[in-house]
Amino acid sequence: MAEAAIDESPRTARAIARTRLADRDGFLAWIFLVPTVVYVIALVAVPFFLAIAFAFSDVTSGDPSYDWAGLTNFRRVFNDAVFWQSLQNTFVFTIVSMLLIVVLGKVLANILVADFRGKWIVRFLALLPWTTPVALSTVTWLWLLHSIYSPIDWVLRNLGLIGDNVYWLGRPTTAMISIIAVHVWRLVPLAAVIIMVGILSIPNDINEAARIDGAGFWRRMFEITIPLTSPLIAVSALFGAIFTFTDIAVVQVLTGGKPGNSTHVLASWSYIRGIGGGDIGQGAVIALFLFPLLLAAAVLILRAVRRMETI
């Protein structure tokens, strides 16, 4: 008996200790948070502060040694017309894409929640652009818009709408339209899914009551559906804006900033300056200009989420 008691006491003590540890909310919270914190520090905070450090240095792609350069890189970037063009393009692409993404996302969401034969295949096809890797889908678009082989041009030519090829990517206006079109094509499914969740969460009673009261489709749309899903529409708009604002893949693969430097955005111009030209300092300065808008977008998303919680 005595031996058993001696054997059990350390085991019991360990079990009690384990139980106490597992019951401590503060301890568990930190354990669960650690992976996220490490991730954010390693992949967000470190690169961000590194970019700030590089912005004030003369680091090049061939010479990583750090020398203080003060505001020289900022002055050079501000004197560069392509930087201002890239900044303008970034806003144009983002705003136009965001508007189209929200409108088309709402339309697609309405289609996806409707009952019809073959709904699952339509849902599958509608989501494909979002699930396809962006580089792969953009390469496909590159061929669709090819100066010689473009099937789009072929169709337009055979319909008698154009004579010669359009050279979509060879002219600034059509190149910008092409970039926006690919962004919209890629992000509309994401917006549609987000908005669809909002539509499905509206109780049927409300729509039924409105219908009985004689409200038509448009009236229900503008007085019930849109107001009740507006927080989610805001979230989808902000996601669309962030994805467009920070994207480099579509511009880099589709135009590489061409023709001239007319379609560069901040991310692609930062890459050309920092890696292509080897001037990491200037590349970092350009990339830092992404930060203020992304910060604002993040704040707005958090507010929208808070609004959803209070609804």
Partner 1 sequence: MVPSLDPWSRRRFLQVAGLAGAGTALAACASEPESPGEQADAQAQEPSPTFTDPSTQLSGTLKILMWSHFVPSHDEWFDKFVTDWGNEVGVDVQVDHIDVANVPSRIASQIQAGQGHDLMQYIATLSQFEPSVLDMTDVNEEASNRHGTQLAMCTESSFNPHTNKFYAFAPGWVPDPGNYQRGLWEPVGFPDGPTTWDELREGGAEIMASENIPVGLGMSQEIDSNMAGHALLWSYGASIQDENEKVVLNSPETIAAVEFMTGLFNDAMTDEIFAWNAASNNEGLIAGELSYILNSISAYRSTQDTNPQLANDTFFTPALQGPETGLAAQHVMYNYVIPEHAENPDAAKEFLLHFTDNFELVTYHSRLYDFPSWPSLAPNLGDWLTTDPFGSEPADKLSFLGDVETATEWSVSIGHPGPSSPAIGEVLGTYLIPNMFAAAARGQASPEEAVRSTHAEIERIFGRWRQRGLIGGG
Sites of contact with partner 1 (CB under 8 A): 58, 60-65, 76, 147-149, 164-165, 167, 169-171, 175, 255-261, 271-273, 275-280
Distances (CA, A) of 306 to 10, 40, 196, 203, 303: 48, 22, 19, 21, 5
Q: How far apart are CA 131 and CA 148, in angstroms?
A: 29
Q: Which is nearer to partner 1, 60 or 230 (CB)?
A: 60
Q: How far apart are CA 106 and CA 187, in angstroms?
A: 12
Q: Closest approach of Cβ 107 to partner 1, in Å?
A: 31
Give min distance, CB of 61 to partner 1, in A: 4
CB of 37 to partner 1, least distance (A): 24
Q: How many CB atoms lie within 10 A of CB 154?
A: 12
Minimum distance from CB of 250 to partner 1 (Å)?
Answer: 14
CA distance 195 to 235: 9
- Please confirm whether the linkage preceding 10 is cis (ω < 30° from 0): no
Residue nearer to partner 1 on the CB measure, 225 or 261: 261
- Taking the least distance from each CB to partner 1, the nearer of 138 and 229 is 138
For residue 87, the tally of other CB atoms under 10 A from its CB is 16
Distance CA 236, CA 248 (A): 20
130 vs 167, which CB is nearer to partner 1?
167
Q: Which is nearer to partner 1, 47 or 227 (by Cβ)?
A: 47
In the complex with partner 1, the residue whose CB is nearer, 157 or 220, is: 157
Check: CB of residue 265 under 8 Å from CB of residue 89.
yes
Half-sphere exposure in the Cβ direction for 170 (13 Å, CA): 8
Considering only CA atoms, which of 251, 272, 298 is closest in space to residue 90? Answer: 251
Rg over CA atoms, the chain: 27
Nearest distance in Å: CB 49, partner 1: 16
Least separation, in Å, of the C-beta of 85 and partner 1? 11
Considering the complex, state which of residue 64 and residue 227 has its C-beta at the smaller distance from partner 1: 64
Shortest distance in whole angstroms from residue 134 CB to partner 1: 16
In this structure, the chain runs to a length of: 311
Q: CA-CA distance, 281 to 37, in Å (whole number)?
A: 28
